[in-house]
Amino acid sequence: MTNFIHLPYGTQNPYDGEYKYERDPYIPIAGEKVILNYATDRGILGQRSWVELRIGDEKTRIIRSECRRNVPEGPLWYAKFQAPKAGTKVTYRFGFGRGFKTAEYSDWYEFTAKEWTSIEDKFKVTNEILSFKAEHSTKTKKERIKAIKALTDGKNYFDMTFIIQRKPGENFYGLGEHYDSLVLQNEDYFAFVYDQWKVQKKKGYAPVPFIFSDKGFGLFFDTGYVTKYTLSEDKLIVSVFSGDLPIQHLDLHYWEKDNPIELIKEMYKVSQPTLPPKWAFGPWLSANQWNSQKKMEEVLQKVTDLNLPSTVAVIEAWSDEQSFYIFNGAQYEPVDGDEALSLKDFIFNDPWPDPKKMVDDYEKRGIKMVLWQIPVLNSPENISKQHENDKKYVKDEKLIAFNKDGSPYQIPKGKWFEHSNVVDFFKDESKRWWQSKRKYLFDEIGIAGLKTDGGEHLWGRDTLVNDNESAAKTRNLYPEVYFQAAKELVGDDGLLFSRAGYSRSPKSTIFWVGDEDSNFEAMHDNFIAGLNVSISGNPFWGWDIAGFSGELPSKELYLTALWNSIFVPIFQLHSEDPQDPVPSAERTPWNMAEVYDDPGIINIYRRVVSLRMSLLPYIYKEASYSAQNGVPLTTPIFGMDNSSQLCYYFGRDMIVFPNLSEEKTDINIELPEGGWINLWTGKKVEGKEKLTYTMDKLPQVFVRENAAVEVSVDESTDLFSPRWGLEENGVIFFAPKERKSQFQNYRNGKVKLIGYIANSSSDDIIDINWEKI
């Protein structure tokens, strides 16, 4: 028997041409050519294939198919014809054999031809929101929007296109995570949640359909459908792709403001980022190869003996890799799929003989424990009884994604976690089931958060969630409901650390900007991605310092990345598992020191994380301000002549020029108006002046003159002295002591030390005169 392979709508993937079995275009337009691509799983000499086609009420006709080439699944065929007038229903099926009498046939497929029509009169304006409803007839017009069109079959509306005027010299920004540049180029960009393994460029795990300009114009498309943004010299074209599903409703936020910051604030009102706990802003420790309690005990011993302040440890390789809620090696009596295990049900063994003791030991040192998580049910060959029970239950109760034909959806072959089922977090029942299985980790073991990986797993228009909602509409929204369920589990005092995301994800989680190589180019790309995320509604991002993948970073890259990352919202070391314990892939300072036979690396790392801990009160205060007021913690400097060098505000009172080049380079910079003090030299410079600096090892950091920067210091008053506490007990006024009278009102019970800047120093940072109060 012949199997026919035909995916009329493909996988709805705008980046990938790997599927060659789709209808092209998948929404045929009246009068235009239609190509039907398909494969048969066998080819026999003398046999052929064809298409039986019915157009409206016409008689069935035969179209011969051409064999394009062989693919692993078998011969790849195609046939072409012209789409009929709009509103006409077309049905077709494929035949294969030597003749019609002995042929085998596929199932029937169908579509309705569409045509473009103007729909400006279908949008109603309420305040700054344009709302589409098919029954509207309002003749709405916005000056910048020159045309709005949609595909229609005469009854419903499908894909939409918005043609926007672009002013001369207008630069556009936003769209969430992309790695290519801050200023959007005259190219195509998609808001499509996508898992791109390294070298991401325009492909983002966490896109946002928010675009804005330096002329005070901004748009946010409040939809889960894939959107496309095409920039040219005089216009912006935005396309909304519905996957051949009728669009019933669409909200478009249309903003005209005085400057880009006001537009960003509007997006922050939508994303509503949640301030993470204070400890989230300290140094994080992580390595994928930490797969045992013994290794975690060694890590704790290292940071203690070497006095390397840390606040978070992440364990990725902890679970059974089936359920993702049971520690590897644990013994227990399986329960029904709707029941939850508790701590007393387990007998723990190697490699995790006593996870609660491990968590408690880390907690005593002030380090919170975060566990890796994925929103799937794996499909291993040797399935455990518990996992078998769980999978049966979620299938029977329909708590996972399903296919249109009623079978359980599985992640396609070749994708991450292929063949796994995906939890349907759009359903409250699914969310409660998933939370119940993991509750003991928090209530009884003391886990403080989850690294919620994944979220890019809904492939194909005929993948259904939430009682028959198509992935064409919900793929981008899936990370939001996944993180919402996880955030409810970890609680207000815990946190999530995620890679995927969309418009409202920051309400639940902080982010890292994806997996990248260990080289200077990747570091540059990561900083761009982080800033793009920041101006699109998410202020709290980090990256895998010095890179996640490939060979160990060079010593120069490692040290440069450390200094740069003091001035990034989240400070996290991480690395992949090389599948070989020798040499270690850890980006920990002790491993780097051993590899390069240089103990000085540990000393520099200690200075870096100590300065980070010293500045933590300032960082946390500015993070709080960011969440409350909608100003990114890392805000690019718009309107200044720094086009050749990445730069950003870090909070309201610091400006950072990260060192992103492998070579020592001279950079030309311009600071905003006012006085600024170089953090390393103490030298004062004036804004609006053209300045030249040599970038070598350290980033260039400037603090606003007269700023008050809250710090944590010990009796030594050395900002490079290791501190493990999170408390604020000092403040540095970036002004000489002679101006002391300006700061007499800065008094609170926490501050014990006040510092005033003195002369420049050769010790990596300004000299400070301290006095006790």
- Contact call for residues 245 and 150 (beta carbons, < 8 A): no
What single DSSP character describes residue 423? Answer: B
Asked about 662 being catalytic, the answer comes back as no
Rounded to whole angstroms, the Cα distance separating 660 from 641 reads 18
Given the residues 390, 515, 516, 586, the one annotated as active site:
515
Residue 67 neighbours by CB under 8 Å, 6+ apart: 43, 49, 75, 76, 77
Residue 676: strand pairing partners: 685, 704
Alpha helices (H) in 496-588, listed in sequence order: 520-534, 555-565
| Residue 515 annotated to the active site | yes
Tokens 């991401």 correspond to 200
Instruction: Report the phi/psi class of residue 688: left, alpha or beta, with left for phi > 0 and alpha for psi in -120 to 50.
Output: left
Strand partners, 174: 211
Q: What is the DSSP string of 621-684?
A: HHHHHHHHHT--SEEE-TTSS-TTS--EEESSSEEEE----SS-EEEEEEPPSSEEEETTT--E
DSSP label of 409 = P
Q: Which of 456, 462, 544, 705 is catalytic?
A: 456
The amino acid at 62: I
CA-based nearest residue to 224, from 478, 485, 457: 478
Report the C-alpha gap between 286 and 572 in whole angstroms.
7
Of 422, 450, 310, give the one whose Cα is nearest residue 367: 310
Whole-number CA gyration radius for the chain: 29
Residue 600, SS3?
helix
Three-state secondary structure readout of 42-91: CCCCCCEEEEEEEECCCCCEEEECEEEEEECCEEEEEEEEECCCCCCEEE
The CA distances from residue 134 to 115, 138, 244, 444, in Å, are 16, 11, 16, 52
Q: Which two tokens stand for residue 638?
A: 């718009």
556 is an active site residue? no
Of 115, 159, 453, 544, the active-site residue reads 453
Please name the residues in contact with 618: beta carbons below 8 A apart, sequence gap of 6 or more.
651, 653, 709, 710, 711
Looking at the DSSP bridge assignments, the partners of residue 110 are 91
Rounded to whole angstroms, the Cα distance separating 140 from 117 reads 16
Give the C-alpha separation, 591 to 289, whole Å: 13
Nearest alpha-carbon partner for 706 in 757, 657, 631: 757
Q: CA 520, 523, 524, 525: dihedral to nearest 10 degrees?
A: 120
Question: Catalytic positions, please?
Answer: 453, 456, 515
